[in-house]
Amino acid sequence: MDQDLQDFTDYLSRVAGKSPNTVRSYRADLSGFLHLMHLHGIDDPAQIDLATIRSWLAHEASTHARSTMARKTAALRSFFGWLSRHGRIKTDPTLALSSPKQSEHLPRILTHDQARTLMDTVDHDPVEPREDEDVQAALQVRDAAMLELLYATGMRVAELCGLDLDDVNRRSRTVKVLGKGSKERVLPYGLPADRALDRWLGEGRPVLAGSTAKSARKAGQALFLGQLGGRVGQRQVRKVVHQAAGQAGVPDIAPHALRHSAATHMLDGGADLREVQEMLGHSSLRTTQRYTHVSIEQLRARYRQAFPRA
């Protein structure tokens, strides 16, 4: 079954166009499942039935969240469906397998005032004097540009980290993003983000990219760089967002909360739901619709606060 798994993951990345994170997660889920099957003497996927799959999922559910179980279920359905289509098994045992119902948690967001406070703070907070002050100043300029772009476009962290210099069109104030499933979309951004990018490209990036040929090769075409000159990583971006929230005195948030905030604030401002769907790169309108619930909850809160007969 190792060869089946390898062929399937190759299919996911090369044909289906799944993101590296999805391929990695599916492979890990399936590896755990197939290893357990091997321990029970099952080395042929044709021997695996629906009862066995449900038993494994029930065991996993005791220690994993619903969202994780939904992914594991999706991985199994995708794997056995692929085996069936390619004639490696006669019947697909997951045809009657349903995904666990997801809990309807409203995404955490910043209010308009909190978002404004956060952006004002990262744009204007002074750099603390240090020996490597030039590098620290460059990092501050970078952090401001990353935060402005995340909030202005609602892009994902992985999309931000994957941006190259030529993905940004300064004349039209748009940025080309490669999203999930290798789907491209072009996102507009406003003047604050443009000013932050201008400072980063003119003052910050040259410092982190260095002046030698070796450092230039390391930086490559990456738009945003880490302290050592290579492409910035997702973990570093998340750290920047958490630190910026603490400095601004707003609720502690992850980068995805800026994405949620951008979507909700656009809807509050009168944007069409399909426009927000296109901006976020959602394949289903249903995924975008949850932001309307956030707007309604905010309206209810303001109503209860302001209306005397609420």
- Tokens 């507009």 correspond to 188
Q: Is 181 left (phi over 0), alpha (psi -120 to 50) or beta?
A: left
Active site residue 112: no
Active site residue 282: yes
Determine which one of 156, 199, 205, 265 is catalytic: 156
Residue 228: C-alpha distances to residues 126, 135, 208, 250, 291 (Å): 22, 10, 7, 29, 38
Determine which one of 231, 238, 256, 290 is catalytic: 256
Q: Please give the radius of gyration of the chain, using alpha carbons only, rounded to the nearest integer.
A: 23
Active site residue 72: no
Q: Which two tokens stand for residue 219?
A: 């930086």
Active site residue 291: yes
CA atoms of 201 and 189, how far apart (whole Å): 16
Active site residue 108: no
Active site residue 180: yes
Determine which one of 64, 180, 195, 242 is catalytic: 180
The DSSP string of 176-243 is EEE-GGG-EEEEE--HHHHHHHHHIIIIIHHHHH-SSHHHHHHHTTBSSB-TTSSBPPHHHHHHHHHH
Active-site annotation, residues: 156, 180, 256, 259, 282, 291
